Amino acid sequence: MKEKTQIALVQMRCGPEPDTNLAHALELIGVAAKNGAQIVCLPELFRSQYFCQSENHDNFSLAESIPGPSTEALTKLAREKSIVIVASLFEKRAAGVYHNTAVVIDADGNILGKYRKMHIPDDPSYYEKFYFTPGDLGFQSWKTTRGNLGVCVCWDQWYPEAARLTALRGAEIIFYPTAIGWHASEKKEFGKAQHSAWETIQRSHAIANGCYIAVANRIGHEAPAGGDGIEFWGQSFVCGPDGEIIAKGSVDREEIVMAEIDWSVINRHRTHWPFLRDRRVDAYAGIQQRLID
């Protein structure tokens, strides 16, 4: 494994046509690879608009098997470009069992594994519990040829447990394919604090675990089910183990957010901030309780 790796987050707009989105994603991955990217991460559920804004049984037809048509195209591209790809897909596992799944494809085109989103939200316009069975594969890390990485997905980002378990399994960078934005009715009053909380807690995962964090979000306003829709806030970012942001996308433009990952920083940082050394693993059992009341 090399000492430094170039990564790219594809910050993209997603339209109503899945095939068009997939083709666009493949094109942007190609650009990222041309720019030197060795690991590329797509945003959450990039193949479609964010259909979870309504509970509509027709939307299950957007799901596909893994492996399936999307991974066929993505694994081929990964092999051609010799890059690692992290891709978030709507997985049909069986009739009535669907997951929000991220696939990790190694630079040789093989699917190394998949992560099924563990924490499933259910909020107005984010009706994910209707669509996604909670993940049953736990938190994971993969030794890719371009680095040791883990993947969590969107709502997972609010859970320090998810980042911790992923890091304890060896991930030195955690990717977060994401689809998050503002409701028009809330943006003026709460928008700034909402975005700040989102960025802050993910920076904190880097700090707590002495690893890199890389978050790929989409952009654009989507209201596929009518209503006010969601204004996805972009601002994909990468931060280092001290939580400092080293690359950040805009709020409303498609772009490829590139960053250089220096793996040696992790060892140096954890040596100077030896948080993992002092964890009180003897005293954390209560974490497995809902409340301690």
Task: Give contact residues for a second copy (rule: CB under 8 A).
Answer: 118-123, 134, 138-139, 155, 158-162, 164-165, 168-170, 193-194, 196-197, 200-201, 203-204, 207-208, 242-244, 272-276, 278-293
Q: Is 44 designated active site? A: yes
Among residues 152, 158, 135, 179, the alpha carbon closest in space to that of 44 is found at: 179
Question: Shortest approach of a second copy to residue 168 CB, angstroms?
Answer: 5
Write down the catalytic residue from 117, 152, 199, 211. 117
How many residues in the chain? 293
At residue 185, φ and ψ (nearest 5 deg) are -70, -15
Which residue in the block uniquely carries the two structure tokens 């040791």? 148
Question: Shortest approach of a second copy to residue 233 CB, angstroms?
Answer: 16
Peptide bond into 241 cis (omega under 30): no
Peptide bond into 67 cis (omega under 30): yes
Question: Shortest approach of a second copy to residue 230 CB, angstroms?
Answer: 15
At residue 287, φ and ψ (nearest 5 deg) are -60, -25
Closer by beta carbon to a second copy, 175 or else 198: 198
Contact 38, 84 (CB under 8 A): yes
Strand pairing category for 230-233 and 219-222: antiparallel
Integer Cα distance of 152 and 107 in angstroms: 20
Q: Is 117 designated active site? A: yes
Q: Is 91 designated active site? A: no
Write down the catalytic residue from 41, 52, 152, 154. 154
Closer by beta carbon to a second copy, 31 or else 284: 284
Question: Shortest approach of a second copy to residue 284 CB, angstroms?
Answer: 5
Which residues are catalytically annotated? Answer: 44, 117, 154
